Amino acid sequence: MKSSLQAISVQGKKSISFLKGITTAEVRNQSLNVFCNDQGKVLALAVILVHSDSECWVCVDQSLVSMMIEHLQFYGRFSSVKMMVLEQQLSFNEHWEWVQGDSKVDWVEFQYEKGLVFLDKSTSGKYTPQMLAYDEHGLIDWGKGCYLGQEVITRISHLGRSKRHLYRVRSGCDFPTVLQATEGSLVVLDEAQASGLGSACVRITRS
């Protein structure tokens, strides 16, 4: 899955505490984290880099930058923070060191191979963290204080029910594509660099 990350600089004395209130896990120096809306649907999987007590970088898929700026500005109104889009594209190497432009190691592809999918504009806001298996990768801190979407996410966990789940698939067709998996159920596949390899968020049928 080829993805270019772009950074949004969040600046202000309350930048770290602000981000803690709208992400599913603790905000650390370098970490993956999940942004959800108030309905518990994932807006973006992001890399958060803490540069100082008053500045953090939120790195998301390029296609989500405008939406994420609006999201951050809306919830940051009372936190005295400001947002600025950084022009450079970012990548990371295997040691979590960020580099500008293309890296010899496709870090996003490496995360994808581990089962972590970065959403883009076409998939943002459609799935809960559980559907994307983010909880299985430790991206939901169940002991964390309140955050946006927590009530819905916690209720799904307590009920033990998720309508869909992410799986790796192989196909002879080109990606991305939409397959009719079962009656009334659409499965959206995204692309990976490996030919015929993709991911599918599959509807779970219980007897």
What share of the chain has pLDDT > 90, as a percent?
48
Which region holds residue 96: left if phi is over 0, alpha if psi is between -120 and 50, else beta? left
9 and 41 housed in the same domain: yes
115 and 178 housed in the same domain: no
If one counts every other C-beta atom within 10 angstroms of the C-beta of residue 42, the result is 26
Mean pLDDT rounded to a whole number for the chain: 79
140 and 175 housed in the same domain: no
Tens of pLDDT along 132-184? 889 999 999 999 889 999 999 999 888 876 666 676 666 666 555 544 444 34
Tens of pLDDT along 72-87? 999 999 999 999 999 8
Question: How large is the average pLDDT for residues 42-53?
Answer: 94
- Judged against a pLDDT cut of 60, whether residue 113 lies above it is answered with yes
73 and 126 housed in the same domain: yes
94 and 138 housed in the same domain: yes
191 and 141 housed in the same domain: no
104 and 187 housed in the same domain: no
Position with higher pLDDT, 109 vs 136: 136
What whole-number distance in Å separates Cα of residue 77 and Cα of residue 98? 29
98 and 42 housed in the same domain: yes
Distances (CA, A) of 83 to 43, 48, 89, 99: 17, 14, 17, 21
119 and 31 housed in the same domain: yes
Residue 72's pLDDT is: 98
| CATH number of domain containing 145 | 3.30.1360.120
Question: Domain of 10?
Answer: 5-158
Query: DSSP string covering 121-151, please?
Result: TTTTTS--TTTTTTGGGT-S-TTS---TTHH
Residue 200's pLDDT is: 60
Indicate the number of domains in the chain: 2
Comparing C-alpha atoms, which of 67, 78, 82, 80 is closest to residue 35?
67
Residue 73's pLDDT is: 97
Backbone angles phi, psi at 128, to 5 degrees: -85, 165
Which pair of tokens denotes residue 124? Answer: 């943002």
Residue 145's pLDDT is: 85
